[in-house]
A = this chain, B = another copy of it.
C-alpha cells in the first residue's frame, strides 16, 4: 500500500456495502479521500444517512452531497428506485447478470454521477475517481460493466482542461469490478469496514430497516453467508 497524503481521490459514496468497501480500499492505498453523494429523489433516501455515517468513520477529508433536481425533467424516469413502481422481490439471483435489466435500473445514473465527480475532481485537483461498481454479483446494470468504465475514463481525458494541458490523467478506479460479493465483504472486514453503518436495500422501512427480499438485500445476504460472516444490519423478515 502506498502512503502519499498528497494523492487526492474523489470517492462516490452511496452508503452501500460496495461504496463503503471502496472508500476503505482508497484510504488504505494512501489517498486523501473526498467523498461525494447524490440526492436525486431516490426512494431509498435512507442511504444518504448511511453515506454520512460511513464518511464520518471512514476518515474522509470531506463529504459533499450534490442535489440534482430532475423533477422538471420527469425525474430519472421509469425506475423503481425513483418512482412509485414496485421494487421486485425474491427474483432469481443473477450470476453474470446480463439476462435482463431490472426496473430498478435508473437511466444514465452512473454516467451522471461520474460526470459530476469528474467536475469536482478537476476543481479540487484530484485525478483518481473511485466507484464501487461490480460486474459479478450485481443487478445487470449496463453502467456497471468494465467496458462502460473504460469508455468513461477515455472520454474524461478528452473532456477536461487538465487533460488538454496535460497536467494529469484521470483514472476511473473500480476496484470491486471483478470481485464476488463475498470477496468484497471479506476484503472490507479485513480493512475494518463497519458494515453496520451501511445500507443496501432498495425498499427500506421508514426507520431504515431492510426488506430482505429485493435484489440488493438478496445479493448482500448471500455474500455474507458465503463469506461466513454475519450481516450486522436489521432485516424485516
Contact = CB atoms under 8 A, between A and B. Distances in A.
Interface of A: 36, 64-70, 72-74, 76-78, 98, 101, 105-112, 114-116, 118-120, 122-124, 141-143, 145, 147-148, 151-152, 154-156, 158-161, 163-165
B115 A142 contact: no
15 contacts: A64-B72, A65-B72, A69-B69, A70-B120, A73-B116, A107-B119, A107-B122, A107-B160, A111-B118, A111-B155, A112-B115, A142-B158, A142-B160, A143-B158, A143-B159
A143 B160 CA distance: 7
B159 A148 contact: yes
A155 B148 contact: yes
B156 A74 contact: no
Contacts of A111: 115, 118-119, 155-156, 159
Given A68-B69, A143-B158, 8 more contacts: A64-B74, A65-B72, A107-B160, A108-B119, A109-B119, A111-B155, A112-B112, A143-B159
A97 B234 CA distance: 57
Q: Which interface residue of A111, A142, A164 has the most chain B CB atoms within 10 A?
A: A111
Contacts of A112: 112, 115-116, 118-119
A11 B102 CA distance: 28
Given A74-B120, A160-B108, A160-B143, A66 B66 contact: no
Contacts of A165: 101
B155 A151 contact: yes
Contacts of A69: 66-69
